[in-house]
């Protein structure tokens, strides 16, 4: 039975409030807070100089005015990027957020954080853990923190750095595999994070009965998602969690 250091968050803003602000930015986290969200999900990886930054993709072309791979940038060059104009003119000049700056904001806003260790192709998971984990553990208490990843090596190395009571870990899966319980036991996982479209009721019931928190990503249609609550799912990661809050208000059952 996994330790339960925190009540599973019901609504988590995916990459900040990414329906209303550029994903993985300080602006998206502020927007989430202003909308009443208590938890955000963000991605962390490293620049070429080892600086941890809040970013999802392997390169910067989709979410900035720049081009090239993250590994080819240092903090000086990354600091020149506009990470907001691609989303809307009002976000022009939004910077790429360093992990340090993002943690300061999250602590100021008293938010919970699900931080995904994003291990893109060719990157070293253990180096990412060693760079990102110390400032994270210094900034946030266990009850406001979940660290997740698709990468088993990253999760295993994270567990070696901190015990379950200090660091709740989440195992991320596209389709939850048959050996999910063994994988979770190997890292003393707190939670299982599943693609809501690929999750099936028997597997959901097994996870919930095991004592793990069950979180689903990335759902934006509360009516379509409704049956998952009936399966025992604890929380949803959404681009706009307010849709779920409104739906619940109108459909309390």
Alpha-carbon span 165 to 168, nearest angstrom: 7
User: What is the mean predicted confidence (pLDDT) over 112-129?
Assistant: 97
Both tokens assigned to 127: 């180096």
Is the pLDDT at 253 greater than 70, yes or no? no
Alpha-carbon span 214 to 188, nearest angstrom: 15
Q: What is the pLDDT of residues 160-169, one digit of tens each?
A: 999 999 999 9
- Under the banding of pLDDT at 50, 70 and 90, the label for residue 2 is low
Of 111, 108, 141, which Cα lies nearest the Cα of 9? Answer: 111
pLDDT of residue 245: 79
Q: What is the pLDDT of residues 196-228, one digit of tens each?
A: 999 999 999 999 999 999 999 999 999 999 999
Is the pLDDT at 150 greater than 60, yes or no? yes
Both tokens assigned to 56: 């999802």
| Residue 214 CB coordination number (10 Å) | 24
Both tokens assigned to 94: 């939004």
* 85 vs 251 pLDDT, higher one: 85
pTM, two decimals, is 0.95
């Amino acid at each position: 039975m996994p330790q339960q250091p925190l009540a599973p968050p019901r609504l988590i803003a995916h990459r900040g409030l990414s329906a209303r602000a550029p994903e993985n930015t300080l602006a998206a986290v502020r927007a989430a807070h202003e909308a009443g969200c208590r938890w955000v999900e963000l991605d962390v990886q490293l620049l070429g100089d080892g600086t941890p930054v809040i970013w999802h993709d392997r390169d910067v072309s989709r979410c900035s005015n720049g081009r090239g791979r993250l590994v080819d940038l240092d903090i000086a060059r990354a600091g020149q990027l506009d990470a907001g104009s691609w989303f809307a003119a009002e976000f022009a000049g939004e910077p790429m957020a360093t992990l340090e700056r993002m943690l300061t904001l999250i602590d100021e806003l008293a938010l919970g954080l699900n931080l995904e260790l994003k291990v893109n192709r060719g990157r070293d998971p253990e180096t990412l853990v060693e760079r990102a984990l110390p400032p994270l553990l210094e900034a946030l208490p266990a009850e406001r923190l979940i660290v997740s990843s698709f990468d088993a090596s990253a999760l295993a190395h994270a567990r070696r750095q901190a015990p379950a009571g200090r660091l709740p870990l989440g195992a991320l899966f596209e389709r939850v595999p048959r050996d999910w319980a063994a994988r979770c036991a190997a890292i003393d996982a707190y939670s299982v994070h599943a693609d809501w479209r690929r999750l099936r009721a028997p597997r959901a019931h097994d996870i919930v009965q095991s004592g793990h928190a069950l979180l689903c990503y990335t759902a934006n249609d509360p009516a379509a998602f409704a049956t998952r609550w009936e399966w025992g799912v604890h929380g949803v990661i959404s681009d706009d969690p307010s849709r779920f809050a409104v739906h619940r208000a109108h459909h309390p059952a």
